[in-house]
Chain A
Amino acid sequence: MSMKISTDQFKERVDKGIHDDFMRGAVAGAQDGMGVKRRVATEELGNWEEWRSHGEEIRQHVLENLDYYLEQLSENVAKRGGNVFFAQTKEEANEYIRGVVKKKEAKKIVKSKSMVTEEISLNAMLEQEGCEVIETDLGEYILQIDDNDPPSHIVVPALHKNKEQIREVFTEKLGYTKTSKPEELAWHARQMLRKEYLSADIGITGCNFAVAETGSFSLVTNEGNADLVTALPKTQITVMGMERLVPTFEEMEVLVSLLTRSAVGQKLTSYITVLTGPKEALDVDGPEEFHLVIVDNGRSKILGGEFQSVLQCIRCAACINVCPVYRHVGGHSYGSIYSGPIGAVLSPLLGGYDEFKELPYASTLCGACTEVCPVKIPLHNLLHKHREVIVEKEGKAPISEKLLMKAFGLGAASPLMYKLGSKMAPAAMNPFTVGEKITKGPGPLKAWTDIRDFPAPNKERFRDWFKNREKGGK
């Protein structure tokens, strides 16, 4: 899978989303449930704002000194016998990993959940090389066996699927014979995956936070899959986005705490694993060989610019869980593996405006995302900035907005035109007006009136009403 997950146009994707009743119900339920959990987990601390400010200052310090900390990290990984490869592009990252796979003559690869490996289309490359690639996170496993259905949420990837659909996929693809009870489905997946961990040649993971001072990195899960992925295969490859690191264990714990509370409302998840290098000489479990691949893939272009703060992100999805637009259109509508407000900011930066120019408009700018972000990324301001860039520099505003602005520009250009325009409005809209409402609007109004009514223009203009009032009338 690459970052782009659909060839449909934005409007078609949204259309599919808003007509998928199960998905919309699931998303609403998830937002409500996870939202409450997050609120409880953050409020019980009593000083959440200080936690957020601390998270922000840590992330900002790291970004400002990123070259230093990455150098320190790589030195310390190498000291412990790990290999480090710096990949500026996804092609470089894939090429390096291909080399490791070939050298190891690997046939089977187990993976724990990683967004950055999705971003660089790692699985496709591995499959081209003839490897069997198995995702071990339960949600990702479900999507993978369902012919690589894309994820719709960065923490709960299979959120859009119901248990009946999952049972059908299991029955068809895995010879499953039991019911759609989540316990039974999960148990079946456990049994299937146990065999895979034990027979895989390579384990591949993402990275929640690397620790520069010790050359360590941490993995955060509830299932324990990352632990088996890193304990059993002989070779381990960890792929990290270049910004995902901290100076020491002390900052790591703060960010882990912010992540688990914001993502799932847990004080800590069931498993947080801190790994340093390959296994030691006498250890039995753990990899004999360790490779860390540090990926830029467009991130450095964000540094030093007006969008730098988006690199503070710790991938908790709190912004997704409060977004009213995500609630209605669902994750697939964004057309990117990164959905919701963070996806709408990040996808155009990493994947370009050509592919993702609509996403900054998939927002009401209500600011709920900014309010919950545990590292204080001003998400809605960044969305607004994107719109400025799209209109001013890229000249890529959506056509309806262009027309509207043109019409407004024309109409507002002189007092006479404005007067004329506002006077004509009630008459112009008359054919579309039923009572006080417009139910089937033309042009740009259509998108609005498809969902709800629009109030008809008032027969009396504000200007006339005001003039009249000045004269003492009502």
Chain B
Amino acid sequence: MAGMIQNRDKFLNQIASRLERPRISSSVERPTWKFQPQYEVLKDATQDELLEVLMEQCKKIHTNIYVTDKKDLATTLNKVVSGYGGGPIVTWKDERFSQWGLDPLLNKEWLAQKIEVYEWDHLKGKENIAKAEKANIGITISEVTLAESGTVVLYSDENKGRTVSFLPATYIALIPKSTLVPRITQAAQKMREIHKKTGHVASCINFITGPSNSADIELNLVVGVHGPVKASYIVINDL
């Protein structure tokens, strides 16, 4: 259902009158910008070079990074999870976990280790949030990964709860190497393309760069404020 718009004409007429022209009625084209420096950053970098930039950047954002093949992914993930003290774990509902051969780990091994794993299930409503709030680790998957800033990009939907990346004490992002791009510029282009093609934008798109932090007390950096206290990235060689 469409929302309401109130008080608009008076407001916009005032703007037009201040600009000493009538209200714009036809569509405005964006000008050809004179400057476009954003496309120069890491312009011709290969995926391997982007991965190196990402690894270097992770040092600055208090984030551990691991690179693994698909066959070793389960071992690597298990290792990172034990490093964070085990469960409870909450994950998105996403078939890629299964495609990457993680079913045995998620459904059997962790069960045997008494690590509780909860998969987001929109049918269970608010229980999802209670689970995420109690979780020690949240695991999600990056759709676009920004080498320059060390950022993972997540699109929300009913199976991909927003709070999986925020409420648990620690956070693990799985990053397909194919999702690496130079910087936020390419992510913005992709978001725009998707909108043009489907007419739709995810209700929440998160750009996450390492754990939560603040320098609000005497400018001392405190890592871990409202969101996760620790973060790890696992890059999966899918190319």
Contact = CB atoms under 8 A, between A and B. Distances in A.
Interface residues of B, number: 89
Contacts of B192: 213, 248-250
Interface residues of A, number: 113
Contact of B162 (A185, A231, A276): A231
A86 B11 contact: yes
B222 A84 contact: no
A270 B218 CA distance: 19
Residue among B36, B185, B212, B217 having the largest count of chain A Cβ atoms under 10 Å: B217
B82 interface: no
Contacts of A232: 129, 163
B63 to A, nearest CB: 10
B204 A92 contact: no
Contacts of B98: none
Nearest to A222: B213
Contacts of A16: none
Contact of B217 (A51, A182, A300): A182
Interface in B199-221: 201-220
A158 B216 contact: yes
A54 B36 contact: yes
Tell me whether chain B's interface is mostly helix, strand or loop, or mixed.
loop
Interface in A164-203: 166, 182-183, 185-187, 189-190, 193-194, 197-198
A412 interface: no
B23 interface: yes
B135 to A, nearest CB: 13
B18 A58 contact: no
A68 B12 CA distance: 8
A158 B215 CA distance: 10
Contacts of A266: 149, 209
B18 A163 contact: no
Interface stretch (B27-35, B73-81, B103-111): B27-35
Contact of A163 (B146, B217, B224): B217
Contacts of A198: 129, 133
A82 B20 CA distance: 31
A365 interface: no
B36 A286 contact: no
A157 B216 contact: yes
Given A231-B163, A268-B184, A193 B8 contact: no
Contact of B212 (A70, A214, A222, A275): A222
B37 A26 contact: no
Nearest to A302: B18
Contacts, number: 305
Interface string A267-283: 11111111111111011
Given A54-B35, A157-B216, A248-B30, A273 B205 contact: yes
B24 A65 contact: yes
A190 B158 contact: no
B99 interface: no
A270 B10 contact: no
A156 B4 CA distance: 36
Interface in A42-88: 45, 47, 50-51, 53-54, 57-58, 61, 64-71, 74-75, 77-88
Given A50-B35, A252-B188, A268-B184, A225 B4 contact: no
Interface stretch (A136-144, A329-337, A440-448, A460-468): A136-144
Nearest to B127: A284
Nearest to B126: A284
Most chain A beta-carbon neighbours within 10 Å: one of B192, B225, B226: B226
A271 B208 contact: yes
A285 interface: yes
A303 B210 contact: no
A270 B37 contact: no
A148 to B, nearest CB: 16
Nearest to B208: A271
Contacts of A230: 204
Contacts of B202: 276
Nearest to B40: A47
A256 interface: yes
A93 to B, nearest CB: 10
12 contacts: A67-B24, A80-B3, A83-B4, A86-B5, A86-B11, A138-B216, A194-B133, A231-B204, A250-B189, A253-B188, A272-B151, A283-B203
Given A280-B157, A285-B161, A286-B203, 9 more contacts: A45-B37, A71-B8, A182-B222, A223-B225, A248-B192, A251-B30, A270-B208, A273-B206, A304-B20
